[in-house]
Structure 1
Amino acid sequence: MTETIVLGLDGANWALLKPWLEEGRLPNIEALRSEGVFTDMKSCLPPVTCPNWRCYSTGKNPGKLGVFWWERIDTDRRTLTTPDSRSFKSANYWDYLNEQGRTAGILNLPMTYPPFEVDRFLVAGGPGSEQNEYAYPPDLGTRLDDEGYTLHPDRPVTAKGDLEEADNIVDLIERRLETFRGLLDEEDPDVAHCTVFYVNVLQHFFWRGEPTRRAWEVIDEHIGRLREEHPDSNLFLMSDHGCKNVDTVFYANSWLEAEGYLVTKSETSDLLTEYGINKKRISKLAHKLGVHDLVTRLAPDRLTDSIPEDEEGFKREQKLEKVDWERSRAIASGQGLIYVIDDGPETVDAIIDNLSTLTNENGDPIAREVMRSDEAYSGPYTDEAPDIVFDQRPGVHTSGAIGSNPVFDDVGQWEAENVRTGLFLASGPDIEASAVDRDVSITDVAPTVLHSVGCAVPTDMDGTPLPLFGDDDFDECDPLPFESVDSAGRQSVQNRLEDLGYLE
């Protein structure tokens, strides 16, 4: 019997769902709230899919994992790399389940490609996954291929008007949950997890619009079926972060340039931005014509390297080419991360001071908190983190693009942006608590999952089991070793991240 089921709801928080709960559109989630325990849950900074889904699976903050966002900028080598599953320097909770004689089934968890060997099954998912060799054991992937299983929609949502593409995502979510329920019946793992990833893509582009509402109604229906089919299982709902509508776009590199911390080169390729020629528009046209893969494969590097990513300008490796490294002192990634180039503490202090008091044109702050890396993280890899980490005020979307952008702008291509407050819910026959009387972190979920099936918790996890089962005592164990694989990121993975709007 599957004892614990975890359903990961990407980008979900109670504030997002509140109107639909009040309207009775999500009756199964509301029923779980009535019979179980629910609370807010705080994610690690920045509140993004990568690294937070692996903060969940390891029970650790990014300073113990060595991954902090979708990209890492090495200011000494002037390079940018994209992480994959092997970039996170830690064992996962399913390793401890297997070590202690328990089985696990993991479906669609972001940042698990290439897949890990798991005693039962693991099907990789999320933006970094590819439609080949994505499952363990391998014959499971072959079977899923034969059944028409797809990791990603044929055409991504890249704009607010992509309603047909949004419909396809709702269908994809439906099929994903059907596959998960089928695997539970067939494989019967002790612990099972499924992430519903693409719902947050809908939230980014449509906020609480009709496509997003329909997706949540589909999710709610399958939650009801899971509860009916597995009445003796403990069911956890959790998210990697929350979501809120955007009121301000903050172009961090435009601000750094205006303040004199960043100096960029002016080149003829800037004319492409002026005339609206960019990869996003070309990619969208190629998808509609059915030649996206062909164009990606045949386009010369020298051509693609000179074309801006989208209307905002240059991103990932392209933006590094725009930097005058000898004259610059800082460069930003998206969603709250800044790298200092000259390693000078005075530069770090000055940027923190300036950013802490920075407001938009309406006088609203950009950041709720601005920290040095050792204030945001702890662990042996903190020195690899961006030098400055800021928690965006809810309603702010920070872009790391380099282009002819203002420092502040109105709502851009995203209607909603991630926030640090996510959600957690526990319901089932073993749940004895009526409430959780302490702050809940995403790093608490892995030890809670282990404790729910009587497994020991490793001593190097940041989180601790939540007091849900009437017994706060839990066993501890030594950490398991891990294998570190240095990955520079694959081109196809980066293309997908661009299509989704994550590499900003």
Structure 2
Amino acid sequence: MPDTIVVGLDGANWALLRPWLDEGRLPNVDALRDDGVYSEMESCLPPVTCPNWRCYTTGKNPGKLGVFWWEKIDTANRTLTTPTSRSFDSANYWDYLNEDGKTAGIVNVPMTYPPFELDGFLVAGGPGSEQEEYTDPPELSDDLDGRGYRLHPDVPVTADSDSEAADAVVDLIDDRLSTFRDLVDERPVDVAHCTVFYINVLQHFFWRGEPTRRAWEVIDDHLGELREAHPEATLMLMSDHGCTEIDTVFNANSWLESMGYLSTERSASDLFGRVGLNKKRVSALAHRFGVHDLVVRLAPERLKSSVPEDEEGFKREQKLDRVNWDETSAIASGQGLIYVVDDDEETVESLVSDLENLRNREGRPVASEVLRREEAYSGSHVDEAPNVVFDQREGVHTSGAIGDNPVFDGPGTWAAENVRTGLFLASGPEVSGALDETISILDVAPTVLRSVGSAVPTDMDGRALDLFGDDAPAERDPIPASAVDSASDQAVQDRLEDLGYLE
């Protein structure tokens, strides 16, 4: 029986859940709040699945991990790489559990593909995983495949009209949590974790709409079952970030181009965007007609590279091919990250000032905070980070696509965007004390270690929360990171593009 169970809820925050809690639709979450302690929780910048789920598992900020978003741009070499599980320069909290002779069961944490070896079990998760060789031990995947376990829905949600695809996501969430509960019963471990990733996909497209509400009711039912089945365990709920409605889309590279920071080249391939042809739309149609794999296999690379990713335009490696580097001083990724060519400090200062003063068409600011990378991060990888990092004002979605986009636009296919404030809750017979202030996502890993009596490594940025009425946790030396790999993984890129979950 697990001593500690952690349920990760991608994109969850108390503001999102409040109407359903008030209506009595989430009775088990409500009961956990009554019995335990809870607070808001701040994620690292940018507030995105990658890197924040691994900020959680390591207790470290991105400056120590070397991963800052779904992509990393090297302006000197004009390359773009996509991280995998091996790109993060750190051990994870379950490595410390294993060294202490404790076991862990980890299910569906994003950015854990390819899977890690550990004493217990691991089922890789997140948008970058593939339905092959996705577990440790390896034979566990045969068992899961036999149960019909799916890492991803067969048809991705690409719009708020995709009701059947949304229903399938609700079913997938139900199956994910059922499988997690079965695994915990069949393979007892000391600490168990399961992330519900696709709930935030529903929130992105439907916000608080009916599919999202149903999914949260399913989650609530499973939380009640977990609490009943494991009454002696410490049960934690946490998220990688929160979510809120979008009122403004900020096309950062269009703005950079309008300000003279970025120069791009146009080509005949722009015609595809003008007539509404893009990869996400083709992918959705191919899925529906059951020919997706055939289209991917047979389409010439030259054609695929000429078609925009989605309505916003060219992304990933495509956008680097369109940059006129001789006349460019800055280029943006999505959700608040800007890289400066040659790390030019004068350009950095100018960008910080311009972003601090930038207003949308209604006169509202785009950024709530604008930071240099040295202010946003700490650690040995800070010099690899985007030079300017800004926290989007709530209601703003920042796109890093390159295309014929206005600087500002209304909400597009997404109805809601990530925000930095997530949630945390701890409940169980060993939990005491109170949480009177917002905690950090970096605090969860050391708190999990403290909950089972393990020492906290000295290189973690977070603090072990005082929830267990004992003395301060012991400290220990860090475990060196193993085989960090910064190379791009094409399978991960294909999955991200296929899901349309690049922002």
Q: Secondary structure at the match of 1:40?
A: strand
3-state secondary structure, aligned to 1:90 = coil
Residues in 2 aligned to 1:489 and 1:165: alpha-carbon distance in whole angstroms: 29
Q: Distance in 2 between matches of 1:472 and 1:317?
A: 51
Residues 241-260 of structure 1 mapped to structure 2, 5 A cutoff: 241-260=241-260
Q: Which moved more, 1:481-490 or 1:460-469?
A: 481-490
**Cα distance in 2 between the residues matched to 1:488 and 1:167:** 36
Q: 3-state SS of the aligned residue for 1:467? A: coil
CA distance in 1, matches of 2:281, 2:104: 42
Q: Which one is further off, 296-305 or 84-93?
A: 296-305
Give the equivalent residue in structure 1 for 2:198: 198
Give distance in 1, aligned partners of 2:497 and 2:390. Answer: 23
Per-residue CA shift, 1:182-210, capped at 9, x if unaligned?
01111110000000000000000000000
Residues 453-475 of structure 1: CA deviation (Å, up to 9, x unaligned): 00000000000111111125110
- Match runs of 1:344-355 below 5 Å: 344-355=344-355
Runs of 4+ in 1 over 4 A off after TM superposition: none
Q: Secondary structure at the match of 1:431?
A: coil
Shift of 1:137: 0.2
Match of 1:312 in 2: 312
What residue number does 1:457 align with? 456
DSSP-derived class of the 2:365 partner: coil
What's the counterpart of residue 104 of structure 1?
Answer: 104
After TM superposition, the structure 1 stretch with the greater mean CA deviation from structure 2, 299-308 or 483-492, is: 483-492
Aligned residue for 2:425, secondary structure, equals: strand
The whole-number CA distance in structure 2 between the counterparts of 1:193 and 1:250 is 35
Q: Deviation per CA, 1:417-457, whole angstroms, max 9, x where unpaired?
A: 00000000000010011x21343100000000000000000
Partner of residue 279, structure 2: 279
Amino acid at match of 1:306: S
* CA deviation after TM superposition for structure 1 residue 276, in Å: 1.0
Q: Does 1:224 align with 2:224?
A: yes
Structure 2 distance, partners of 1:83, 1:95, is 20
How far 1:342 sits from its partner (Å)? 3.4
Contact map agreement 2:246 2:411 (CA 8 A) in 1: yes
Alpha-carbon separation, structure 2, partners of 1:131 and 1:423? 30
Q: Give the corresponding residue for 2:424.
A: 424
The AA in structure 1 aligned to 2:171 is D
In 2, the alpha carbon distance for the partners of 1:343 and 1:477 equals: 37
State the Cα deviation string for residues 166-190 of structure 1 (Å, max 9, x = none). 0000000000000000011111100
Distance in 1 separating the partners of 2:471 and 2:219: 32
What is the CA distance between 1:213 and its match in structure 2? 0.1
With structure 2 as the length reference, what TM-score do the two structures score? 0.99
Q: CA deviation at 1:7?
A: 0.2
Q: Distance in 1 between matches of 2:342 and 2:160?
A: 40
1:73 is paired with a residue of what secondary structure? strand
Quick one: distance in 1 between partners of 2:500 and 2:68?
A: 17
Equivalent residue, structure 1, for 2:49: 49
SS in 2 for 1:293: helix
What TM-score, normalized to structure 1?
0.99
1:113-151 Cα deviation digits (max 9, x unpaired): 000011010000000100000000011111111111110
Tell me by how many angstroms 1:495 deviates.
Answer: 2.4
Identity of aligned residues (%): 71
Code of the residue aligned with 1:84 in structure 2: it is T
The alignment partner of 2:83 has SS state of: coil
Other-structure match for 2:168: 168
Measure, in 2, the Cα distance between the counterparts of 1:501 and 1:305: 16
More off after superposition, 490-499 vs 47-56: 490-499
Quick check: 1:446 aligned with 2:449? Answer: no
Cα distance in 2 for residues equivalent to 1:71 and 1:419: 19
- What SS is found at the alignment partner of 2:303? helix
SS at match of 1:363: coil
Aligned-residue Cα RMSD (Å) equals 0.9
* Preserved contact between residue 70 and residue 502 of structure 1 (Cα < 8 Å): no
What is the Cα deviation at residue 277 of structure 1? Answer: 1.4
SS at 1:200 equivalent: helix
Q: How does 1:230-241 map to 2 (within 5 A)?
A: 230-241=230-241
Segments of structure 2 that go 5 or more residues without pairing to the other structure are none
SS of match in other structure, 2:144: helix
CA distance in 2, matches of 1:276, 1:56: 39
Instruction: Indicate the residue corresponding to 2:410 in structure 1.
Output: 410
Question: What is the aligned partner in structure 1 of residue 293 from structure 2?
Answer: 293
Q: Name the structure 2 match of 1:32.
A: 32
- Partners of 1:34 and 1:368 lie apart in 2 by 33
1:388-431 CA-partner distances (Å, limit 9, x unpaired): 10000010000000000000000011000000000000000100
Instruction: Indicate if the aligned counterparts of 1:238 and 1:423 stay in contact, CA closer than 8 A.
Output: yes
Does residue 1:503 correspond to 2:502, yes or no? yes
Shift, 1:487, TM fit: 4.2
In 2, Cα distance between equivalents of 1:59 and 1:487: 20
Contact 1:233 1:429 in 2 (8 A): yes
1:355 partner amino acid: L
Contact residue 201 and residue 500 of structure 1 kept, 8 A: no
CA distance in 2, matches of 1:344, 1:2: 51
